[in-house]
Amino acid sequence: MVASTDNRTDFFYATLVALVIIAPFALVIATGWVPEGQRGNFIVLGHGVILAVVGAALVLRAVYAFGFRQALKLAAAERNYSEAA
């Protein structure tokens, strides 16, 4: 069986896209159980939470990628241990 994604980056973005597409639909369905006067607030706050989660995921992904690149640079750098005694 072949995976639909070859690496983890593709899987991350596919999952993020699925979250962005499915979450508003789930929010609207969940709004059906909220009392009539609070539905507007529930939808607005719910969309705010969705945006916060997606934004945090993108920021964490960028920090992870940047940190990994920096760690590779440090590991590949030659060490200069000179003794001046």
Residue 85 pLDDT greater than 70, yes or no: no
Question: Which structural domain, as residue segments, surrounds residue 31?
Answer: 8-75
Does residue 58 form part of some domain? yes
Predicted model pTM = 0.65
- pLDDT at position 1 is 47
Q: What is the dihedral of CA 52, 55, 60, 65, to 10 degrees?
A: 170
What is the tally of structural domains in the chain? 1
Does residue 36 form part of some domain? yes
Does residue 20 form part of some domain? yes
> CA-to-CA distance for 48 and 54, rounded, in angstroms?
10
The 10s digit of each residue's pLDDT in 24-71 is 999 999 999 999 899 999 999 999 999 999 999 888 887 787 777 776
- pLDDT at position 30 is 92
Average the pLDDT over 8-32 and give the result: 88
